[in-house]
Amino acid sequence: MTSTNVPATDTVTRPATRRNRELFLLVVAWGLGVLGTLQVGWATGEGTPQRFWVTVAVVGALALAAHVIVRWRVPYADPLLLPLATLLTVLGMTMIYRLDVAAAQRAIRNNSPVPSPDVYSQLIWFAVGITLFTLVLLILRDHRVLQRYTYTAGLIGIVLLLLPLVPGIGATINGATLWVRLGGLSFQPAELAKIALTIFFAGYLVVKRDALALVRVRFLGIGLPRPRDLGPIIVAWALSLGILIFERDLGTSLLFFGLFVAMLYISTQRRSWIILGAGLFAIGSVFSYLAFNHVRVRVQVWIDPFAFADTGGYQIVQSLYGFANGGLLGTGLGNGYPQLVPFANTDFVLASLGEELGLVGFIAIILLYAIMVQRGLRISVAVRDPFGQLLAAGLSITLALQVFVIVGGVTRLIPLTGLTTPFLSYGGSSLIANWILIALLLVISHRARQPLPEVEPIPDNATQVVSR
């Protein structure tokens, strides 16, 4: 008899080849960060930054530590996710450093105290993100364990979303109540809530998708589910409206509702859920526009930002000027004026990169995100269990929706929201949450690619003994 299992040589060499490819790409990502930082120093006249080699050594050590953990714990995992996340993080820190230089030069010209650099804070958050990334890979051996905590994850996600409304710890910044402050530390709990709610949606839909896929009524040729099965989407719609009303957070509201509708469609393959979701979204949008002034302002600024350039439209106007100044190939790192855009290192970091890297660099960054989302969806297709399929798809959709909302906002494709750009924006909440997201995708990917254990063939004489 012949065995159909994967040969032992393949099980040894293929993971090693995959990890070696990952290591090479990590070195390339690190090298691009080093060159970008040196370019900023040369272009701005600052020269080689202080503690330059210490900083690049720390970044390289963190990336290498993440690679070693991946090689050890999840050797069959996707080889592109870690380098992509590292490259985006390094690009973000390079632009943050470039804005730090601009802030320091402006302070010197105005005889003001030089502000502390944000890039070192971002480096600390990067270290925290890699630490939590490592903990996920060490603790979570099998992603299917998360299905046991479906409703616990849902409760945690809702609590995190509502946490900024708690008096005493919630903080309102730029008109949105997104932040929680505990002592000297502030963070956005919605970034972690998106992961917890994705786990909840995946676990819930695995159990309920057969009931949600039933068609009882047809309207205009579209199959509609039973009225009692409309409950989940109504609850998700109401909760997203609640976030919009009480926290004034357009981005999280759109992300949360869009994620649920997309996962609902993937699990049931019913177009009716997409149509119902679009209808509820339209109703909620019109209601919000008529009822809330901050929504009207966002829409009016989106329609004609130059008419509101002295008030709410100043950010988007400066962003558009930055893109125009960058042109096709950009001004070059250190040669533009990204510091003229308010919140250039957080909400508008893509506009800053678009000015100095140009349209070509901007599209390259979008392609990096597209590849990351594609790899996540590919993991969803490859994994064997339904929960893993939905979880990988949900995490990928979360990333895709967040990038779409941010890119659409800074380019005036859609009204501007308060979401941050994954891996690029300054701030710990988003960076930590997205590194946890990458760790979960790697765990699922390892499970999907891991070969089945070899089964010893039954000898012919043993079958003869059994037949007797």
Where along the chain do its domains lie? Answer: 8-467
What's this model's pTM, rounded to 2 decimal places? 0.90
Band (5; pLDDT cuts 50, 70, 90):
very low
Distances (CA, A) of 50 to 113, 313, 415: 18, 37, 40
Does residue 112 surpass a pLDDT of 70? Answer: yes
Mean pLDDT of 101-114: 90
50-54, 79-83, 353-357: segment of lowest average pLDDT: 50-54
CA torsion angle 413 419 424 427 (round to 10): 160
Percent of the chain with pLDDT over 70: 86
- The residue length of the chain stands at 468
Q: Are 179 and 420 in contact (CB under 8 A)?
A: no
Instruction: Report the Cα–Cα distance between both ends of the chain, in Å, rounded.
Output: 20
pLDDT digits (tens, 9 = 90+) for 224-253: 666 666 677 677 777 777 776 666 667 777
pLDDT digits (tens, 9 = 90+) for 182-234: 777 778 888 898 999 899 989 988 888 877 777 666 666 666 666 666 677 67
H/E element holding 193?
helix 189-212
Which of 233, 224, 243, 228 shows the shortest CA–CA distance to 205?
233
3: DSSP letter: -
Does residue 410 surpass a pLDDT of 70? Answer: yes
Distances (CA, A) of 201 to 236, 260, 390, 396, 448: 10, 7, 8, 14, 20
Band (64; pLDDT cuts 50, 70, 90):
very high
Q: What are residue 222's phi and psi, to 5 degrees? A: -110, 125
